[in-house]
Amino acid sequence: MHSTLRIATFNIHKGVTSFNARLVLHEQRELIRRMQADIVFLQEVRGEHARHRHLFNGSQPEYLADTIWQDFAYGKNAVYPAGHHGNALLSKYPIVKWENEDISAHASEQRGMLHCEIAVPGWGQNLHCVCVHLGLFARWRRRQLFALRERIESLVPHDAPLIIAGDFNDWRMRAGHILADSLQLKEVFEHVRGKPARSFPSLLPMFRLDRIYARGFYIQHAQIHGGPAFARVSDHAALSAVMMRL
């Protein structure tokens, strides 16, 4: 039985540097690999882009998964003439079911939540993973969080292991109680260190935008992956956690 699970979350900024100056997907793949996660939650992943199509094999999720993660899922959210982007999940274990739900709160900002069920060997129940990237305005985030809570309450058994991770854009730190109070989730950095992680901007993180919420696990370790290496490829630091199944 695989009782210990390593997970990570990272907003990859569509695989390019700020102002779309340079494609950095190759460097991002190496940094993601170094975190040695079993499951990776990714935001702002391009499923297709006309200008970059010839620079690597397959879609961005496929390229990032490569030979390390045997399975991946991609949820298309924002669509534009050159292509589209959304959330993605890479997994070393089989993704047996997935769905991308549109939670856009305004026509100007397309958002979704990618819900995957993963069959971890030896576990009696599937692991539920939800990758999110919430809106820029508080009232939009609130609507999206209630939609997330409604989905969990209706589709995830109360005793099933659950991880919700991604970019919450919640710099005022008001999201936690909506998830923790009603869904019995704990934010891993808050549990280990007392507060969610500072993850933005990646060179010198000040704002606590990215989160990992979990249910049904003992949190062993939580780490922020920032500094110059990550600042060169994204405006967000990456987060990782090591958790043991209860």
Q: What is the pLDDT of residues 87-136, one digit of tens each?
A: 999 999 999 999 999 999 887 788 999 999 999 999 999 999 999 999 98
Summarize pLDDT for 152-178 with one digit per residue, the tens.
Answer: 999 999 999 999 999 999 988 877 778
CATH topology of domain 4-245: Deoxyribonuclease I; Chain A (3.60.10)
Beta strands in the chain (DSSP E): 4-11, 39-49, 71-80, 83-91, 95-102, 112-118, 127-133, 162-167, 186-187, 210-215, 217-225, 238-245
CA-nearest of 244, 176, 246 to 4 is 244
DSSP state of 196: P
Whole-model pTM? 0.94
Q: How many CB atoms lie within 10 A of CB 198?
A: 17
Summarize pLDDT for 9-55 with one digit per residue, the tens.
Answer: 999 998 887 656 688 999 999 999 999 999 999 999 998 765 666 56
List beta partners, residue 238. 225
How is the beta sheet containing 162-167 ordered, strand by strand?
95-102, 112-118, 127-133, 162-167, 210-215, 186-187
